[in-house]
Amino acid sequence: MALTIENGNIVAGANSFATVSECRAFCDERGLSLPSEDAAVEKLLINAADFIFSLETEFQGVRKDSTQVLPFPREQIFLHGADVSGTIPNILKQAQSRLAFDAQENDLFSTGSGKEVLEEQVGPLKTKYSPSGSSNPQNNFTAALNYLEPLFKTGNMVSGWSFNIPVSR
């Protein structure tokens, strides 16, 4: 599957903000390794775009067009005091590239399918798991979320997975 890049013009069928070459350049600058095959990097970028999509309610502003596939471009969005409405901010591409790297080793959407350890003993090795098999593993993609933070609504600070959403009466 080839990437279709959203460039701010509401590209039909868009599935990525960053190109493979942009992702490779970002990772190379930071000493992060990606697969050598472009098709593998494309899949990682699509998964990363899906993750960014899952954060849409945390972003400033509104979609530029109701028919667009991805959550950007947006209207009424400011980055460091400048109006960046209708654009694809570079920090969005950086976050997607970092998430693509992270997706190699981590499921970006943890399911909680592991078992919670209730009891553990070192000698002679005893481990007791929760009978329900439930746990709540969550990956923490702090690096990517730090890139995205300026695009979040005012007051939404990256803190693991917690967002502070302003409430008024």
What average pLDDT does the segment 25-52 reach? 97
pLDDT tens for residues 89-113?
999 999 999 999 999 988 888 655 5
What average pLDDT does the segment 28-54 reach? 97
Cα radius of gyration (the chain): 19
Q: Can you tell me the distance from the alpha carbon of 142 to that of 99, in angstroms, rounded to the nearest whole number?
A: 10
Query: How does residue 164 score in pLDDT terms, banded at 50, 70 and 90?
Result: very low
What average pLDDT does the segment 51-68 reach? 96
3-state DSSP of the chain: CCCCECCCCCCCCCCECCCHHHHHHHHHHCCCCCCCCHHHHHHHHHHHHHHHHHCHHHECCEECCCCCCCCCCEECCEECCEECCCCCCHHHHHHHHHHHHHCCCCCCCCCCCCCCEEEEECCCCEEEECCCCCCCCCCCCHHHHHHHHHHECCCCCCECCECCCCCCC
Question: Rounded to two decimals, what is the model's pTM?
Answer: 0.78
pLDDT recorded at residue 159: 43
